[in-house]
Structure 1
């Protein structure tokens, strides 16, 4: 499907949602839920919390659909809602002062069974999961979601220089984690 055709179909589905069509809401959910879950997962680093964030974000999007002006794609607008909801979930988690537990699950794959590239990607993914929340969020927003430091600063309510320094520290910490994991193997 061509990009303009996809946008036209999306615009029609969004309009049907505005008119209260539940099937259209389900269509949008099917189109965007997996990608938005992945965005939330990279930020929250918690499967159950990402599921909750996803549901809250879609409810918020449908409730506030009147404020969507189609200046950006629906996906971009929804992604911003998901990111904000994910960041708010992390803030709530911190305010509850719940101790962070080790969140790395699963066994390390046998290198002979796994392609080397897949193994390297898995090492990086696990290392990112081990980053403190603040570092992981900035790193994810910058590297994986493509936001610049000014946008990250706005999203997180921090200064642009804080975003840059958090990113720099996150990269250094990530490299340290990867190096440490290689010496343990």
Structure 2
């Protein structure tokens, strides 16, 4: 957790405080970026932009309780990931489903180790991965996702369902089904 005194120092423009914040939050936020973009270079670029914006706007941050700074900078990072994805001209956000999708129990997803799930999420097509991350990992509602991505709530729900189905297919293909 980032301590209030560190945030106050960063608000004053103290580079050592900003460096300490980066050192503490850089790796988890980098991993968050990787869940969206898959490419290490792009994730580093997004992370750099997110931290720059956070330190630029830190004077607007109001400390509420433990974890509020982390939530604030995480939101900035997610928004930067989404803006990056929107700028990608050759990668549509929403993709069409495979018509031959096998229906399996969701318990397979629930029983995977977190590292296995992270690696599987990276295998999702971009549109599925984005909505899966926003809903299942970041905790956004379908309404919030629809607003952020400029899609309907129904599309968000549909893409999440397709993402889960796609993940189940990958689990079965790779033999990672711990639920059996």
In 1: Cα distance, 2:24 partner to 2:119 partner: 28
Residues matched between the structures, number: 154
TM norm structure 1: 0.73
Unaligned runs of 5+ in 2: 92-111, 176-180
Greater Cα offset, 39-48 or 144-153: 144-153
In 2: Cα distance, 1:128 partner to 1:79 partner: 19
Large movers: runs of 4+ above 4 Å: none
Unaligned runs of 5+ in 1: 1-5, 99-116
- Shift in Å at residue 66 of structure 1? 1.7
Distance change >3 Å, CA 71–CA 159, structure 1 → 2: farther
Distance change >3 Å, CA 126–CA 12, structure 1 → 2: closer
If each structure's helix is expressed as a fraction of its own residues, which one has the higher value? 1
Residue by residue, what CA displacement relative to the aligned partner does 1:166-185 show, whole Å, maximum 9, x if unpaired?
Answer: 10111112222333444xxx
1:70 — aligned with what? Answer: 63
Cα root mean square deviation, aligned: 2.4
- Shift in Å at residue 56 of structure 1? 0.6
Conserved 8 A contact 2:35-2:118: no
1:23 — aligned with what? Answer: 16
Structure 2 residue 50 is matched with structure 1 residue 57? yes
